[in-house]
Amino acid sequence: MPKVTYIEFNGTEHIVEVDKGLSIMEGAVQNNIQGIDADCGGSCACATCHVYVDDDWIDKLPEQSDAEKDMLDFAFETKASSRLSCQIFVDENLNGVVVSLPEKQG
């Protein structure tokens, strides 16, 4: 199973296995990782699943859809590495991906 590393804002690291096909958001929720609210349950409608993707991984992710770009306008303190974690689905190519969580989700 692919592994995903979540780094909380306070630096706490969680390395968890996430089923292929689940989103990075769902991986966090299933493993009770704090810091991703996901108010809309993954419908790209709330921007409360915002993460910063580690520099080494940004180019390996699928492109952002227009809907994700629009929704990211609402996220708190976006950077060039900002993504909505409900829009990134885990597969073997993403084994080892590292994401950091923002200070808050809005």
Partner 1 sequence: MIKTDAVIIGAGPVGLFAVFELGILGLNAHVVDNLDKAGGQCIELYPDKPIYDIPALPICTGESLTKNLLEQIKPFKTTFHLNQRVDSITKKDKHWIVETSDKTVFETPNIIIAGGVGSFEPRKPPIKGIERFEQHNLFYSVKNKKNFDNQKVCIFGGGDSALDWVIELSKTAKKIFLVHRRDEFRAAQHTVNQMMKLKDEAKIELYTNYQPKNFAGEAKIEKVIIENNKKEIKELEVDSVLAFFGLKMELGPIVNWGLNLDNKTIIVNTENFETNEKGIFAVGDICTYPGKLKLILCGFHEAALAAQECFKRAKPDEKYIFRFTTSSSDIHKRLGIK
- Using the minimum distance from each CB to partner 1, give the nearer residue, 41 or 62: 41
Please, are residues 5 and 98 in contact by the beta-carbon 8 Å criterion?
yes
The region, left, alpha or beta by phi > 0 then psi within -120 to 50, assigned to residue 28 is: alpha
Nearest Cα to 72, choosing from 93, 45, 97?
45
Residue spans of beta strands (DSSP E) within 18-81:
50-53
Min dist CB 61 to ligand FES, Å, is 15
**Interacting residues toward ligand FES by CB under 6 A:** 25, 38-40, 42-49, 71, 84, 86
Residue 77 touches which member of ligand FAD, partner 1, ligand FES, none, C-beta under 5-8 Å by kind: partner 1
Q: Using CA atoms, how far apart are residues 94 and 60, in angstroms rounded to an integer?
A: 8
Q: Using CA atoms, how far apart are residues 84 and 62, in angstroms rounded to an integer?
A: 12
Residue 25 touches which member of ligand FAD, ligand FES, partner 1, none, C-beta under 5-8 Å by kind: ligand FES
**Interacting residues toward partner 1 by CB under 8 A:** 39-41, 43, 45-48, 69-70, 73-74, 76-78, 80, 103, 105-106
Residue 84 touches which member of ligand FAD, partner 1, ligand FES, none, C-beta under 5-8 Å by kind: ligand FES
Contacts to ligand FAD by CB under 6 A: 40, 43, 45
